[in-house]
Amino acid sequence: MQTSANPKTYRVKSFGCQMNVYDGDRMAELLTEQGIVPAPEGEDADLVVLNTCHIREKAAEKVYSDIGRLKREDGSSPLIAVAGCVAQAEGEEIMARAPAVKMVVGPQAYHRLPEMVRAASEGQRVTDTDMPAETKFDALPRRKRSGPTAFLTVQEGCDKFCTYCVVPYTRGAEVSRPYAALVDEALRLVEAGAREITLLGQNVNAWTGENARGQTVGLEGLARELAAIPELARIRYTTSHPNDMTQALIEAHGEIGKLMPFLHLPVQAGNDRVLKAMNRSHTVESYLAILDRVRAVRPDIALSGDFIVGFPGETDAEFEDTLKLVDAVGYAQCFSFKYSPRPGTPAATMDGQVPAAVMDERLQRLQAALNRDQYAFNTASVGKVCDVLVERKGKHPGQWLGKSPWLQSVHFTGDAQVGQLVRVEITSAGPNSLGAVPLDALVS
């Protein structure tokens, strides 16, 4: 099988979470620094990086399908690199099963991608799934490009060891990036055009660092520093763990105007026995107490979360408890999934695996309840006046799309530009988006 040597163009295809999007962007920057340019839309790339996610079932099989689709009509293939969490978990297996793959690189080693590309261009097959003690971020290029919204990874890894989750094995232990490095990267992103930055981490609210005055601070301290950047209009963060939702961070939601009124705080289930089996460190009562404290300082907060249905041993009555929790919270948006056993996790070998048909039925009921509440939240927004950060043009002439402070998609027609904050009045609501009319004043 022929492959491309000395690649001139690349394409990075990222799957899964926002951290993978961030990693994909950084790999693209690394390749661009080497003089390799993005392949034009619709054209084959000389180098393709599949930046994978291992959270869901059959993730590895999807990778092999994507590899197969990269084969060209003449029988040749691009240089193929498999990156991300599937690469970390199944690197040797990928190399054995897929001869077309020339590089396997884990999420803690992608700063070495340029040298791997050089080796692959010379006919070698290379694997790097090390989790080095030194930080990969020191080896990455300075940020030079950004859209109106940008991701900034501040923390990686997880020490929680939820029994269903592979992240501690594929991303490693919890590590916080240094305060000064994060402030510097945020400044570069803003200089490149970012108006909104979303701070990322597997447990982003576990981040800690030492500020410029030598004080140890949590995520709220970093948010305060970033809020002082004049051109930065908005700050968000995801994904959080209830165990790390400190009172200082909660109070920041009422004190930092640039910190958006949106909180993604996964609960995963609404029954204490199931939560304990998942090795979650919270109970339903403690989770609801956190939400009460957040709402006390920011009454208009939009709440988001994650749910898993069909965890091993979950009974019908325990699932009903999850529906009761949903009713009690009134989420603005949520993500819900059927439990899928991940190799090597304790839950994969637990007794009481729930039949697929039962999980399907529970997921449909849960999603119906979540969709109901999302639509109700959107409907309650009609009549509000808020600022929309314009992200791109819409499908219709003069139409623009952006996000409300509560992370709702908003469309309006009028004079605007990408990256502007436009004050609008919400005039209509659908299940997944809002319609608006711009008011006279352009915010910025």
Find out whether 334 is annotated in a ligand binding site. Answer: no
Cα(111)–Cα(129) distance, integer angstroms = 11
Q: What separation, in Å, do the N-terminal and C-terminal C-alpha atoms of the chain show?
A: 54
- 67: nearest Cα among 20, 13, 126, 30: 13
Cα(158)–Cα(150) distance, integer angstroms = 23
| Token reading at 151 | 């991701």
| Token reading at 88 | 């970390």
Beta strand 385-393 with 399-403: parallel, antiparallel or unpaired? antiparallel
Find out whether 158 is annotated in a ligand binding site. Answer: yes
Find out whether 386 is annotated in a ligand binding site. Answer: no
Find out whether 162 is annotated in a ligand binding site. Answer: yes
**If you count them, how many residues does the chain have?**
444
Omega into 427 within 30° of 0, i.e. cis?
Answer: no
Q: Which residues does the annotation place in the binding site?
A: 17, 53, 85, 158, 162, 165
Q: Which residues does the annotation place in the binding site for [4Fe-4S] cluster?
A: 17, 53, 85, 158, 162, 165
